[in-house]
């Protein structure tokens, strides 16, 4: 591996280019019409225009990316996150073209991208999954299944998704009426009346474990992150380590993630996501087979450079450390600064970034793909920058976060900065007592 | 000439989902407030509603095209 094509844009493209150059690798950036002036375009060794601004015509166009790699003599592709990073078809095109893909194999991406196959892999690895049933055809079957799963349950349409086709049921009495209604709804909405049951979990936290696995079969974790501060399933604040976890739960959840990675023969960096209930039970949700937006908080508390490990692993080298070398030192929080208007239902706010003064000082890292004068394009996601604030303990990390928000000046577009200022002072957040519905309850959608 | 203009910049779509039929076809009559297209802005989809009634004479942008604020997207004929 000598020259890496970075098949992404913005801050993650900058992050990958930095890691590649530090490892002595050459880089090729790609850009759409809207991104010709992008910071990553300037930082890379060379850059190739791959198409129009709409992502479907540029960053999602695998043929254009393969051609860009061929043109520039790149021998590897780093997908970043989003875009093509978890699309098995595109990854197969890259590898068929003789390129090294910085990520797991096509079959691993396929397995973990299929909800049923991923649950089955977790079950085999002895990793707990949300208790649920198979399809239930009639009320008698549903009652038996629900006793097994435990109330309250959710009745879910098999063909549903993204939060649609879900009906909460508190008791046996309710289930008798709810089942036919759910089946009718499912038939109307999805032309398929198959429904199944899942345990309803209230007040759960989103805990995810960062893992790395190499071709020699070494699998390690770099501990967990708590990403419970979410809005419409979009993470806004993440922390490492998860606050208030017992040593036992921490060990169990991290080991469970490693078991699952081993079970599927994982290679590369990945994240295993769990729900952690108030009673301390945890359940596997899904695995992300790529680097994640919030990876820097794990780097901040462990000292591991996750992107450089990705590159090592892709080049066939072993992970540069062993599990015993990894310790949590202090705490870190990531604040996502998005071009969204928190006073206006988080409406996306593309526009011209007239000013961008970044914070600094000990324990403050800023990852961004923008400089003042850039345009925040309507074509891509709304993230302007990530503030990663760390310290010897959680209180210091949060205090540095508050100071960083005071120093940060973003002008030209409304952003989530004001929301972060408010959230860092919320007693629940200070106490580490938030769950995945917390932010939506605190800041309900305008109706 | 009456036109319907884009209210925001983004990617223009004539159908609610790739496998679904178009909201409206050329020649069809539409009424004020009717959803006629989507514009995707930063991965969120926003409905484009007709701000006038009439007959769709022609769409001035193609499915998947980039549009800017104020750009004409539909030309209307007589109602």
Per DSSP, helices labelled H in A128-279 are 139-149, 172-190, 247-263
Question: Would you call B42 and A380 a contact, using CB atoms and an 8 Å cutoff?
Answer: yes
Report d(CA A96, CA A107) in Å as an integer: 14
Rounded to an integer, the average pLDDT of A200-204 is 90
Of A179, A177, A207, A204, residue with least CA distance to A193: A179
Q: Is the pLDDT score of B79 beyond 60?
A: no
For chain B, domains (ranges, CATH) are 2-77 (2.40.50.100)
Number of A/B CB contacts below 8 angstroms equals 35
Q: How confident is the model at residue A446 (pLDDT cuts 50, 70, 90)?
A: low
Report percent pLDDT > 90 for chain A: 85
pLDDT for residue A191? 82
Domain A3-102 has CATH 3.40.50.20: yes
Residue A333 confidence (pLDDT): 98
CB A300 within 8 A of CB A366: no
Q: Does the ipTM exceed 0.95?
A: no
Least confident of A22-31, A105-114, A183-192, A314-323: A183-192
User: Which is it for strands B44-49 and A340-341: parallel, antiparallel or unpaired?
Assistant: unpaired
**Distance separating alpha carbons of residues A259 and A265, to the nearest angstrom:** 10
What's the confidence (pLDDT) of residue A186? 84
| Contact at CB, B41 and A380, closer than 8 angstroms | no
Q: Kindly report the average pLDDT of chain A as a whole number.
A: 95
Alpha carbon dihedral A100, A106, A109, A114, in 10-degree steps, equals 170
Q: What dotted CATH number matches A205-442?
A: 3.30.470.20
Answer whether residue B24 shows pLDDT above 90.
yes
The pLDDT assigned to A161 comes to: 66
Residue in chain A lying closest to B9 (CA): A378
* Helix pair angle (A295-302, A306-314), 10° resolution: 100
At a CB cut-off of 8 Å and minimum separation 6, what does A238 contact? A225, A226, A227, A229, A294, A297, A333, A334
**Cβ separation A348–B42 shorter than 8 A:** yes
State how far the alpha carbon of A102 is from the alpha carbons of A52, A108, A114, A286, in Å. 25, 13, 21, 20
Question: Do the Cβ atoms of B44 and A57 come within 8 Å?
Answer: no
pLDDT for residue A139 is more than 90: yes
pLDDT at A359: 98
Determine the pLDDT at residue A166: 83
pLDDT range class, residue A362, cuts 50, 70, 90:
very high
Residue A379 and residue B8: Cβ atoms within 8 Å? no
* Residue A383, pLDDT score: 96
State the best of B39, B40, B43 to mutate against chain A, taking most chain A CBs within 10 Å: B43
Under an 8 A CB cutoff, do B10 and A53 touch?
no
Write down the pLDDT at residue A127.
98
Q: CATH 3.40.50.20 region(s) of chain A? A: 3-102
> Is the CB of A56 inside 8 Å of chain B's CB atoms?
yes
Q: What is the pLDDT of residue B65?
A: 87
Q: Which of residues 39-68 of B touch A (CB under 8 A)?
A: 41-44, 64-66
Instruction: List every span in chain A annotated with CATH 3.30.470.20.
Output: 205-442
Residues of chain A with CATH 3.30.1490.20: 132-199
Which chain B residues have a beta carbon less than 8 Å from that of A350?
A: 9-10, 41-42
Indicate the CATH number of A132-199 among 3.30.1370.100, 3.30.420.10, 3.40.50.1110, 3.30.1490.20.
3.30.1490.20
Q: pLDDT tens for residues A26-41?
A: 999 999 999 999 999 9
Tokens at residue A78, please? 């780093």
Q: Residue A163: pLDDT above 70? A: no
Residue to mutate among A164, A232, A344, A378, with most B CBs inside 10 A, is A378
Q: Which residues of B touch A52 (CB under 8 A)?
A: 66
> Is position A290 annotated as part of the catalytic site?
yes
Q: Which residue among the candidates A290, A365, A394, A400 is catalytic per the annotation?
A: A290
């Amino acid at each position: 591996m000598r020259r890496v094509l970075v098949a992404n844009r913005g801050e993650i493209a900058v992050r990958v280019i930095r890691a590649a150059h530090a490892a002595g690798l050459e880089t090729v950036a790609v850009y759409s019409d809207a991104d010709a002036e992008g910071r990553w375009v300037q930082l890379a060794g060379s850059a190739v225009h791959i198409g129009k601004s709409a992502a479907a015509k540029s960053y999602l166009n695998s043929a254009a990316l393969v051609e860009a790699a061929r043109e520039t003599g790149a021998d590897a592709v780093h997908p970043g996150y989003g875009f093509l990073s978890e699309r098995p078809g595109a990854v197969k095109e890259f590898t068929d073209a003789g390129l090294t893909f910085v990520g797991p194999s096509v079959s691993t991406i396929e397995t973990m991208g299929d909800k049923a196959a991923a649950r089955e892999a977790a079950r085999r690895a002895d990793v707990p999954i949300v208790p649920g049933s198979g399809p239930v055809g009639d009320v008698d079957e549903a009652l038996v299944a629900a006793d097994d799963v435990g109330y309250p349950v959710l009745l879910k349409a098999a063909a549903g998704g993204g939060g649609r086709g879900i009906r909460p049921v508190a008791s046996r009495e309710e289930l008798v009426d709810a089942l036919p209604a759910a089946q009718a709804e499912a038939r109307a909405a999805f032309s398929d009346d198959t429904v199944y049951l899942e345990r309803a979990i209230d007040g759960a936290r989103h805990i995810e474990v960062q893992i790395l696995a190499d071709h020699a079969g070494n699998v390690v974790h770099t501990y967990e992150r708590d990403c419970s501060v979410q809005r419409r399933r979009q993470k806004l604040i993440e922390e490492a380590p998860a606050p208030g976890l017992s040593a036992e739960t921490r060990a169990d959840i991290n080991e469970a993630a490693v078991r699952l990675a081993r079970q599927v023969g994982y290679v590369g960096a990945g994240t295993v996501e769990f729900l952690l209930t108030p009673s301390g039970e945890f359940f596997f949700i899904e695995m992300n087979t790529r680097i994640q937006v919030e990876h820097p908080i794990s780097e901040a508390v462990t000292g591991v450079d996750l992107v450089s490990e990705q590159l090592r692993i892709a080049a066939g080298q072993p992970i540069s450390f062993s599990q015993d070398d990894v310790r949590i030192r202090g705490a870190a929080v990531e604040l996502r600064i998005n071009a969204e208007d928190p006073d206006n239902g988080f409406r996306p706010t593309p526009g011209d970034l007239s000013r961008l003064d970044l914070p600094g000082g000990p324990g403050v890292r800023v990852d961004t793909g923008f400089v003042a004068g850039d345009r925040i394009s309507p074509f891509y996601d709304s993230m302007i920058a990530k503030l990663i604030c760390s310290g010897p303990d959680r209180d210091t990390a949060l205090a540095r976060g508050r100071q960083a928000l005071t120093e940060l000046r973003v002008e030209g577009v409304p952003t989530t900065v004001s929301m972060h200022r408010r959230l860092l002072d919320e007693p629940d957040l200070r106490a580490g007592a938030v769950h995945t519905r917390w932010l939506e309850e605190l800041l309900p959608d305008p109706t | 000439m009456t036109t319907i203009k884009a209210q925001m910049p983004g990617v223009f779509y004539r159908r609610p989902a790739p496998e679904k039929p178009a909201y409206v076809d050329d020649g069809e009559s539409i009424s004020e407030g009717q959803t006629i297209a989507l514009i995707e802005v930063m991965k969120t989809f926003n409905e484009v509603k007709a701000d006038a009634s009439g007959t769709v004479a022609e769409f001035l942008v193609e499915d998947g095209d980039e549009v800017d604020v104020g750009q004409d997207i539909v030309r209307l004929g007589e109602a």
